[in-house]
Every structure is written in C-alpha cells, then in structure tokens.
Amino acid sequence: MDQRPPDHITAAPSLAAKPPIVTLDGVSKAYANGTVALRDVNLSIGRAQFVSLLGPSGCGKSTLLRLIAGLGDLTGGRIDWPGSAKASDGTPKRDLGFVFQEPTLMPWANVFDNVYLPLKLGRLSRKQARPRIMDALAMVGLEKFERSYPRELSGGMKMRVSIARALITRPSVLLMDEPFAALDEITRFRLNDDLLRLWAGRDWTVIFVTHSVYESVYLSNRIVVMGARPGRITADLAIDAPYPRSEAFRMIPAYNEYCRMVSAELHATMGEASPE
C-alpha cells in the first residue's frame, strides 16, 4: 500500500492488502478526433476483487475497460500486469474474458458455434468442447437454443450468449461492459447471483461496468466512480459486506446505506446535489 504513488486513490484496507493483478499508472486516452476520453487514471486492482466501474454515460468506462484488455493504444501512462507470465514476444499473457457492450456475435454461426469460438481458437475439438459449452449455455439459461442463429434471439438472449462465450475459457480476469443492461429485472437478478456464485467459487477478478448503483452495490466489494469530461476516477469505495450475498442482502440496512453513499458520490461527480 505504501508503494503506491501519493495521488493514488486507495480503496479500503481490506481490499488493498490483496496483491495487485493489474495496475494503471497515469493512464490517458485521447481519440483521433480530439476527444479526451480518459485523463490520468490511476488504479490498482487486486486478485479476487469484484470491481464495479460506475459513472455517467460517456465518461470513458468502456474506453477504460478496453484499454485494460489491451485493445487500443494508450496516449499516456502505462498498464502493468505484475504477476502475469510473459509470452515469447514480451507482452503479458493474460487470460481474459470480455463481454462487450454490444453482443458482438457472429451472425453466420449458431449459438453453439459462437460460444465454441474461444475454445476453437485454443484448438479444442468440437466434441471435447461440447460438455463445457452446454454447461455455459445452461448457466445463462440457453441450453435449448444451441442451434439458433443470433438473429432469432432477443437482445437479452444475445447478451447471455456473449456472457457464456466469455466464461467458456474460465478466465482469471473477467471484464464486462454493462452485460445486464438489456435484461429484465428477474433475469438480471438471477444472472447477478450466478455471477456471484461463479466468482466466489474461484480466485478470480471481475471488472464490471454498470449504470446501476444497486447492481454495483449488490455485486461488488469495490466501486470505482468515474466522472466525465475528461474521464477520471472521482471516488473509490469499498463495499465491506460479506459474501455470499443473496436476496436477503437487499433487505438489510447496510445495503441501503451503501446505495445511498454510492449514489451521493455519483451525484457529486455529475455536479448535482444529492437528492436528499
């Protein structure tokens, strides 16, 4: 903790104690058209953290997530993966799962083949991959749709296929960009619980972009609030409620307290008075 740069916004001690899996140092990103999407972002994310990125539309959440995944070049600063093995060309070998804000499915391939893609690239045969794919599809409730084409699915179903595809490689870091935004509340709650169960079962990291204060509090043990123009981190909050969390968690006073706190931070970021 003491090795961090002084301007680093530190999370609560219980989280900071975990060894960092990825660190961002003064990360900036300007797009070719001159938009400064991110300015001087410092962030250190530890193993086994469930981090939510929360912020108004256009504040650079997607940009940040893509940069962490190594998609697109930084305009300034650096991103390090301290513990990761290096590939032969020196770039860190990260096993990431990524859920894009759009479903990003191959329209010419059915659901099964879309989920199979990462394993296919890993040279696993279709037959070997089958049980894993069916498990992943069952988890998102789509086991009956393995032969359907993306155009035959609803927006939410497409998103669930995309989630199944991200989980299929059992990544150690899962990056998700508003994965549940298109879903109804019941499915959303169910997938929230499924995600938490998966996360609890293994020592992995989730970085989760969302617009929903409630969702971020329910899921994460850390919430990073971002502000817009230019995109930057304005608050870094720990949610110190124990796991496993379930529906009952939504009923306890602490949950409401956290929601109020996060909501106040978000309003402060957006330059408005808190509604209370």
Partner 1 sequence: MSTSAEPVAQRADRRLIALRIALPILVGVVFLGTWQILVTWLQVPKFVLPAPSLIATAFVDDFASLMGSLWFTLTVTVEAFILAVVGGVALAVLFSQSEIVATALFPYAVILQVTPVVSIAPLIIIWVGYDNVRVALLILAWIVAFFPVLSNTTLGLRSTDHNLRNLMQLYGASRWRILTEVQFPSALPYLLAGMKISGGLSLIGAVVAEFVAGSGASTGLAWRIIEAGNRLDIPRMFAALALLSVLGIAIFGVLSAFEYLMLRHWHESAVRREN
Residues of this chain that interact with ligand ATP (CB under 6 A) are: 31, 33, 35, 37, 55, 57-63, 101
169 contact choice in ligand ATP, partner 1, Mg ion, none (CB below 5 to 8 Å, kind-dependent): partner 1
35 contact choice in partner 1, Mg ion, ligand ATP, none (CB below 5 to 8 Å, kind-dependent): ligand ATP
Q: Report CA 207 to chain centroid distance, whole Å.
A: 3
Only one of the segments 117-125, 196-204, 208-216, 237-245 lies at the binding site for partner 1 (rule: CB under 8 A); that segment is: 117-125
Only one of the segments 112-120, 124-132, 134-142, 229-237 lies at the binding site for partner 1 (rule: CB under 8 A); that segment is: 112-120
Tell me: does residue 212 bind Mg ion (CB under 5 A): no
Rounded to the nearest 10°, the torsion over CA 193, 198, 201, 207 is -100
CA distance 157 to 134: 15
3-state secondary structure of 71: coil
CB of 98 to partner 1, least distance (A): 6
Residues 61-100 close enough to bind partner 1 by CB under 8 A: 66, 69-71, 96, 98, 100
Inter-residue contact 53 to 208 (CB < 8 Å): yes
CA distance 180 to 163: 9
Show the binding pattern over residues 129-158: x = contacts partner 1 (CB under 8 A), - = does not.
--------------------xxx-------
**Gap between the terminal Cα atoms of the chain:** 35
Show the binding pattern over residues 233-272: x = contacts partner 1 (CB under 8 A), - = does not.
----------------------------------------
Q: Report CA 217 to chain centroid distance, whole Å.
A: 14
CA distance 237 to 240: 9
Q: Could you give the C-alpha distances from 210 to 51, 59, 170, in angstroms and in order?
A: 10, 12, 22
The count of residues interacting with partner 1 (CB under 8 A) is 23
CA distance 240 to 243: 9
254 contact choice in ligand ATP, Mg ion, partner 1, none (CB below 5 to 8 Å, kind-dependent): none
CA distance 112 to 168: 11
Tell me: does residue 104 bind Mg ion (CB under 5 A): no
Sign of CA dihedral 157, 159, 162, 168: negative
CB of 209 to partner 1, least distance (A): 15
Interface ranges with Mg ion (CB under 5 A): 62, 101
Interface ranges with partner 1 (CB under 8 A): 66, 69-71, 96, 98, 100, 102, 104, 106-110, 117-118, 120-122, 149-151, 169
